[in-house]
Structure 1
Amino acid sequence: MMKTMILLLIAYLLGSIPSGLWIGHVFFHKNIREYGSGNIGTTNTFRVLGKQAGIAVFIVDFLKGTLAVLLPIWLHAEGLSPVVFGLVAVLGHTFPIFAQFKGGKAVATSAGMLMGFAPLFCLYLIVIFAVTLYMTSMVSLSSVIGAILGMLGALLFPSIGFLIDGYDLVFTLVVLFLGSFVIVRHKENIERILKKEENLVPWGLNLTKQHAKS
């Protein structure tokens, strides 16, 4: 029990590492919260600090979720599913103790959690994300669509043996929660998309004809 509690704390602290905020301060002498959307996640880091910084932030945030899932497996912690530790890391990423509990939108760390526990399912969602991003030029919409299809996949795929072998109640509930959480965290983005005012990345087809701001 003590091992489990310690690992849950470690998972939260891992998730709480505000990579975008720290990389901005250390290497660029910028508070990323004062630029762009003000978010400390991957997308705003790309926009404000550039490609290399954005890639670094994505890798760190992704690995936070993966490590949180793998640690209880490696250390043989019993009593809780590894995805619970991944969920705690995602909550740490979103409400980080090291950044006044104001964190990212949970996408990269959630993907990392899936990679650690259900890699084929994660790769499927990465493909969905990439295709949607190319068609729409919007990270936000790609994240929301990935969340929706992730929830549907967690509910339907086990019944046909596609990518997920059998139903795992805890995994299904965590995916449903995180998918809903990602959508809620993108509420303002969804409002801008409906107004055709969402920020775009300089890649893809912009099929919805948003008015690019960056």
Structure 2
Amino acid sequence: MTLISILIIISAYLLGSISSAILICKILDIPDPRYFGSKNPGATNIFRIAGYKIAILVILFDVLKGAIPIWLGYYLEISSNSLGITAIFSCLGHMYPIFFKFYGGKGVATAFGALTTINVNLSIIMISTWLLTVLSFGYSSLGAVISALIVPCYTWYFQPQYSLPTIIISSLVLIKHIVNIKRLWNHQEKRIWRN
């Protein structure tokens, strides 16, 4: 692994560690998402606290956190193995940010940003899977879980060299959703919109 690859991987983690949800809420004088709602600094909780416009802004920044390091890696022509590790570290930064005592979001948007940059077809299928699930059942967490379960299959079909990093990222997303999975199983999970 080259020095450039190592620097990009470190930068991916540090960029991922910048919590857009917390910073945007602070700038706009919105309650800190770590202390309200689900207490998760992610777009779904922001949607419930501050509405869809702020949630979209958070999603956009979180997607870019995953995409920018991959774009940079492509530009600097690092290896596919290094690109895969970069994607993993972007997500680790978002989930376990060094700037926020390692308490972060669940990594869905950042994972999407990283993986979508690898293949456009993959991004279309990921969005479709998430949207179809959420619109059908109303649970953002269920959309994330189902997407995480099947995205490695999509990756294997479109970009097989990234299968292992995708499996790792999907596993991290599922681990961060364990509480949601339990609530879904017990019919206690809140829908993204009220009934």
TM-score, length basis structure 2: 0.93
Separation in 1, partners of 2:151, 2:77:
28
Separation in 2, partners of 1:187, 1:96:
19
Q: Any conservation in 2 of the 1:129–1:146 contact (CA below 8 Å)?
A: yes
Which residue of 196, 204, 207 maps to 2:187?
196
- Percent same amino acid at aligned positions? 30
- Match of 1:196, SS state, is coil
Separation in 2, partners of 1:34, 1:75:
40
AA partner of residue 116 (structure 1)? T
Separation in 1, partners of 2:178, 2:150:
17
Q: 1:199 to 1:68 in 2, by over 3 A?
A: same
Aligned to 2:57: 56
Distance apart, 1:153 and its partner CA = 2.8
Separation in 2, partners of 1:112, 1:2:
24
Q: Any conservation in 1 of the 2:130–2:144 contact (CA below 8 Å)?
A: yes
Aligned to 1:209: none
Separation in 1, partners of 2:151, 2:173:
11
Q: Any conservation in 1 of the 2:5–2:82 contact (CA below 8 Å)?
A: no
Higher share of residues assigned helix:
2
AA partner of residue 193 (structure 1)? L
Aligned to 1:145: 146
TM-score, length basis structure 1: 0.85
Separation in 2, partners of 1:68, 1:121:
18
Q: Deviations over 1:22-81 (max 9, x none)?
A: 111111242211100100011111111211110000000011111111111112335843
Q: 1:146 to 1:201 in 2, by over 3 A?
A: same
Superposed CA RMSD in Å reads: 1.6
Q: Any conservation in 2 of the 1:32–1:39 contact (CA below 8 Å)?
A: yes
AA partner of residue 68 (structure 1)? P
Separation in 2, partners of 1:195, 1:77:
45
Separation in 2, partners of 1:34, 1:193:
22
Q: Kindly indicate whether residue 29 of structure 2 is the aligned counterpart of residue 38 of structure 1.
A: no
Larger RCO of the pair (alpha carbons < 8 Å, separation 6+): 2
From the CA coordinates, give the structure whose radius of gyration is larger: 1
Which residue of 168, 185, 188 maps to 2:176?
185
Alignment of 1:154-193 (within 5 A): 154-155=155-156, 157=157, 164=158, 167-168=160-161, 171-193=162-184
Q: Any conservation in 2 of the 1:15–1:96 contact (CA below 8 Å)?
A: yes
Q: Once structures 1 and 2 are overlaid, which stretch shifts more, 76-85 or 12-21?
A: 76-85
Separation in 2, partners of 1:39, 1:111:
18
Q: Any conservation in 2 of the 1:28–1:49 contact (CA below 8 Å)?
A: no
Separation in 1, partners of 2:122, 2:15:
23
Q: 1:79 to 1:147 in 2, by over 3 A?
A: closer
Separation in 2, partners of 1:141, 1:93:
20
Q: 1:87 to 1:120 in 2, by over 3 A?
A: same
Aligned to 1:127: 128
AA partner of residue 64 (structure 1)? K
Separation in 1, partners of 2:30, 2:43:
17
Q: Any conservation in 2 of the 1:70–1:82 contact (CA below 8 Å)?
A: no
Aligned pair count?
194
Aligned to 2:28: 27
5+ long unaligned stretches in structure 1:
158-163, 204-211
5+ long unaligned stretches in structure 2:
none
Separation in 1, partners of 2:132, 2:46:
22
Aligned to 1:208: none
